[in-house]
Copies of this chain bind each other. A is one copy, B any other.
Amino acid sequence: MTDVAVAGGGLIGLAVAWRAARRGLSVTVADDAPGSGASAAAAGMLAPVAEVGYREEPLLRLGLASLERWPDFAAELAAASGRPVELRTAGTLVVGLGEDDVGELDALHAFQRELGLAARRLTPREARRREPALGTRVRGGLLVEGDHSVDGRAVHAALLAACAAAGVGLVRERVAGVVVDGGRAAGLRLASGGVVAAGATVLALGAHSGALPGVPPLPVRPVKGQVLRLAGAGGLLAGTVRALVRGRPVYLVPYGGDRLVVGATVEDRGFDARVTAGAVHDLLHDAVEVVPEVEELELTETLARFRPGTPDNAPLLGPSSLPGLVLATGHHRNGVLLTPVTAEATADLLATGALPQPAAPFTADRFGGPECS
């Protein structure tokens, strides 16, 4: 019997487990392949301002709260794990290529100013002064100095080490369901038939959170993303470059010395795990238009993973309609950004019984739970 059983050993599950263990709780995480889901594909952008969406102000506030926590979170994680967790604090440059794309930049900038967010419009020349590798078709830029990035895989590796150091148990088995006993979640059932009995159960299965036996219906759907990883990009970019290429978004995120992530498609097609020729083509095409030297880089990896999408693109946090089951899922495109605030709020809830403020608006009952439908 453990205090907390966590279903899912991705970034969210491990971060929750680590923080809960630091609060003195005994924790066991179950996952047959920790970090092989959306965490493996995440580009690691910490960019709530550059990515702010219309009618998504609550999510913006949560993102800003988490971004604020990232420096301390990274420092503590590095200390606890003995592994480097480096924030890239060079900011994010958003660029537009076509006439309409630059119009979108202006609209985004106006919206950011309306919300009191810091961002600066750049001429093509100013944009190229910041990122000399930009192609000649770039027609304008928008610099968000406060939006950073982190290497998601490095964070995951550090979390594994920090969890081990904090005494978190890791069961490398597939989670087959939530054990429900007397109307309460009582732990996890494993594919082997074994059980992790627990006082509280945390659901952090990402896109798979909506279909776990024992879990009440949740509005989580898989949103497929395809991304590329490239090598040989040392010194190519100062920071993250996001671009609109004739209405199609693409991002280039440098990491780990000479690496680059290029992403990402956003596809509503269920759990179709194929890397497709069309997606790889479009990503390469757009990346090369934005930064022509990408053509010379080594393509080291292509992959497709599934974000946990929700109706309002914001996560599902805190208690669920099943007593004893705590949600830490539905992070959609913001899993890395929201890791610190999710871990802290969930650990608070597990330790004190109360979900703290920044997370409070994101309980699942905002959509009308099964008990009220």
A257 at the interface (CB under 8 A from B): no
From residue A234, how far is it (CB to closest CB) to chain B in Å? Answer: 14
**Is A284 in contact with B281, judged by CB distance below 8 angstroms?**
yes
The 4 A-B pairs at the shortest CB distance, nearest first, are namely A278-B295, A281-B284, A274-B298, A277-B299
Closest to A302 in B: B299
Contacts from A to B (Cβ < 8 Å): 228, 230-232, 274-278, 280-281, 284-285, 287-288, 294-300, 302
Query: Which residues in B have their C-beta under 8 angstroms from that of A275?
Result: 298-300
Closest to A275 in B: B299
**Is B288 in contact with A285, judged by CB distance below 8 angstroms?**
no
Q: How far is the CA of A288 from the CA of B278 in the complex (A)?
A: 8
Closest to A281 in B: B284
Query: Which residues in B have their C-beta under 8 angstroms from that of A297?
Result: 276-277
From residue A246, how far is it (CB to closest CB) to chain B in Å? Answer: 16
**Is A285 in contact with B285, judged by CB distance below 8 angstroms?**
yes
**Is B302 in contact with A276, judged by CB distance below 8 angstroms?**
no
Contact residue among B274, B285, B298 (Cβ-Cβ distance under 8 Å from A232): B274
Q: How far is the CA of A281 from the CA of B228 in the complex (A)?
A: 12
Query: Which residues in B have their C-beta under 8 angstroms from that of A274?
Result: 231-232, 298
Query: Which residues in B have their C-beta under 8 angstroms from that of A276?
Result: 295-299
Q: How far is the CA of A338 from the CA of B257 in the complex (A)?
A: 45
Closest to A274 in B: B298
**Is A287 in contact with B277, judged by CB distance below 8 angstroms?**
yes
From residue A118, how far is it (CB to closest CB) to chain B in Å? Answer: 33
Query: Which residues in B have their C-beta under 8 angstroms from that of A278?
Result: 284, 288, 294-296
